[in-house]
A and B are shown apart, each in its own frame.
Chain A
């Protein structure tokens, strides 16, 4: 595992949601790139079950927060649902403030490929970007 470095001290999650996220909610708060949607649809088909994907954040890691990216088999009652390029995306309300305006992309870096969160809320991230701070 690569070492985790950050330019600023790791801090706990902020008390309040960042300003501006409510504005972003009316537009689509979280979007998928066409490429990401394609891959998710393919993975779901191959997996044979699941209604969509669940995005979220949780507090952990050396820079405060970490992304959650999972298959979703059923919605939770409090989930906020929307659809992007035909793929259902579920986000729990607590995570939404940290993700507002995020685009989930699918990228290829050399031989490696996978999903990438383009999140405008991030102030700083650890060296490898797996955990972040808003």
Chain B
């Protein structure tokens, strides 16, 4: 007998047509799956009642694949074949991965994304993630008693196209139908926003084990909009553990330690931190390998003192995200806490003080993202109640643009634009008779292509030969609801079109994103100068080419001294282009323009007389 759930009034599904949908929080350390049951979002536990699935996959030499706790138990004994935190490698090239030399894996730098050599052959991070997703899928199908219609998978707001695409590929590999990728903070806001029916501007403060993310969201009339994101990819609960670990060593005067003792103390440090979230002081007693005893008491005051700078560090990106959104702390109506590390009273207190209000924390911070994803999945699968048909807006983390002449970036979609979005801009040809246009899609905030990240290149061919600047080429950027980009270039007169789905060969690390953003601010004036210089260089080059093509056609209009005067001016301008003195370029351009004035006038006369020769005055038509 099938087990039924309570439906909304009038929404009972026909038999065998229940649309089973789940939300998946595919985390770096742990993953969860949740669903909406009888109107309530719940996390689905495994057969032993555990909500979390460690995001760990082991490719054992014997041929079996273990996922979750089973794999975790081999982390120490079989590190090479036990893949931890595959999420960090999704859509990343070898050089995108921080501290790759510290990781125990055999990396192979494959095209586009690193791969890992295991006892069962070469595995890509997509395959590893697919194993985690498969485990969650079978848990969900056992829990819901049927095949899944679709899933919503959450990704960090800063994930770029490559990372999102890799996540979608992993889902496909796991046999899941992805209804949508959803930004993690947005999912958390859904879990709170809908359940509590609150509207306004919210901050989502997500302090996980190893990363910190802050997002500013606007919720109004049931529409979610991500206004800004920021964070620190090297700040998390682990850093607090480390401070306690260092404090133990300092207090007990220990050093050096065996690797076993280091691990033991790290575990004790974390336990003490977690104990302090509920109690005033935490006893730390450890027997070391040497037989030495450590017996200390960590009080809340000491803990607060030794972690003060870490707490302060979370507020720096928070301030910046607020600034990006053009808001002050007072404008924030509520703060959603996500991630286990936000259980620390010190964090709760600092966040409360910064925003001058108690943060929202009545949902489990480890589960809130999955719970929100489940609500979204339930709606997208078509199990919506009347009045629930709201839109969901996300944001792109870095500006998207095109390379123009001189290696400059023309931004087409500015960062923090809400998605889905489509923007088009017109471009033209640079040379006479140019029949093809190279389109180079880049991502980043800087003015020069060389400082941004290259996403894709393609060519539009079949442009009819025209003089420079006459062709009209419309380039459209479209970012779909999952944050994936497609670019189309279309020559307007002929309708010739070329397009590309951007599956960039390399991903950006969030470190890089942060660094690129920082760069764009600190280099603002430098960039402005370089932009002006490049523009002058491009302009000068264009002038030289125009003069040269005119010289080729009408050389007979010039006397020898006139010709050598113009040639000299060209040489001087060419020399100026090579340098970085913009004024010199301007002066040389001026000289060349002046030097060719007379030549241009003669050419004009020549073409007019050619057009008029042999025609009567009344044929010419004065209104033409």
Do A66 and B15 have beta carbons less than 8 Å apart? yes
Do A43 and B38 have beta carbons less than 8 Å apart? yes
List residues of chain B with CB within 8 A of the CB of A54. Answer: 9
Do B1 and A39 have beta carbons less than 8 Å apart? no
List residues of chain B with CB within 8 A of the CB of A1. Answer: 16-18, 146-147
Over the window 13-31 of chain B, the binary record of Cβ atoms lying under 8 Å from chain A Cβ atoms (1 yes, 0 no) is 0111110000000000000
Tell which of B136-144, B260-268, B473-481 binds the partner: B136-144
Do A47 and B39 have beta carbons less than 8 Å apart? yes
CB within 8 Å of B: which A13-57 residues: 39-40, 43, 46-47, 53-54
- Measured CB to CB, the closest approach of chain B to A21, in angstroms, equals 21
Do B15 and A70 have beta carbons less than 8 Å apart? no
- Beyond A43-B6, A69-B4, A129-B2, whether A112 also contacts B39 by CB under 8 A is no
Do A109 and B3 have beta carbons less than 8 Å apart? yes
List residues of chain A with CB within 8 A of the CB of B5. Answer: 69, 114-115
List residues of chain A with CB within 8 A of the CB of B44. Answer: 111
- Measured CB to CB, the closest approach of chain B to A26, in angstroms, equals 27
- Measured CB to CB, the closest approach of chain B to A41, in angstroms, equals 12
Do B11 and A115 have beta carbons less than 8 Å apart? no
- Beyond A46-B40, A70-B12, A111-B139, whether A128 also contacts B2 by CB under 8 A is yes
- Measured CB to CB, the closest approach of chain B to A80, in angstroms, equals 17
Do B6 and A61 have beta carbons less than 8 Å apart? no
Residue B145 lies at the interface, judged by CB distance under 8 Å to chain A: yes
Please pick, from A61, A73, A113, the residue contacting B16 in the complex, using a CB distance under 8 A: A61
- Beyond A60-B14, A109-B145, A111-B47, whether A69 also contacts B1 by CB under 8 A is no
Residue A67 lies at the interface, judged by CB distance under 8 Å to chain B: yes
Chain B interface main SS type = loop
Do A111 and B142 have beta carbons less than 8 Å apart? yes
CB within 8 Å of B: which A70-125 residues: 70-73, 107, 109-117, 125
- Beyond A47-B39, A54-B9, whether A113 also contacts B3 by CB under 8 A is yes
Complex: A130 Cα to B4 Cα, angstroms = 8
- Measured CB to CB, the closest approach of chain A to B197, in angstroms, equals 8
Do A112 and B17 have beta carbons less than 8 Å apart? no
List residues of chain A with CB within 8 A of the CB of B4. Answer: 67, 69, 114-117, 130
Residue B10 lies at the interface, judged by CB distance under 8 Å to chain A: yes
Residue B271 lies at the interface, judged by CB distance under 8 Å to chain A: no
List residues of chain A with CB within 8 A of the CB of B145. Answer: 109, 112, 114
Complex: A40 Cα to B153 Cα, angstroms = 29
Complex: A115 Cα to B2 Cα, angstroms = 8
List residues of chain A with CB within 8 A of the CB of B7. Answer: 68-71
Complex: A81 Cα to B377 Cα, angstroms = 34
List residues of chain B with CB within 8 A of the CB of A111. Answer: 44-47, 139, 142-143
Do A47 and B40 have beta carbons less than 8 Å apart? yes
Do A61 and B40 have beta carbons less than 8 Å apart? no
- Beyond A70-B7, A111-B139, whether A116 also contacts B1 by CB under 8 A is yes
List residues of chain B with CB within 8 A of the CB of A62. Answer: 15-16
Do A71 and B17 have beta carbons less than 8 Å apart? no
- Measured CB to CB, the closest approach of chain B to A13, in angstroms, equals 15
- Measured CB to CB, the closest approach of chain B to A61, in angstroms, equals 4
Over the window 93-135 of chain B, the binary record of Cβ atoms lying under 8 Å from chain A Cβ atoms (1 yes, 0 no) is 0000000000000000000000000000000000000000000
Residue among B16, B46, B144 facing the most chain A CB atoms (10 A cut-off) = B16
- Measured CB to CB, the closest approach of chain A to B23, in angstroms, equals 17
What are some 7 contacts across the A-B interface (CB < 8 A)? A1-B147, A61-B16, A68-B12, A72-B9, A113-B143, A114-B5, A130-B2
Given A43-B6, A130-B15, 13 further pairs, Cβ under 8 A: A1-B18, A2-B16, A4-B15, A43-B40, A46-B39, A60-B15, A61-B16, A69-B5, A70-B7, A70-B8, A111-B47, A111-B143, A126-B15
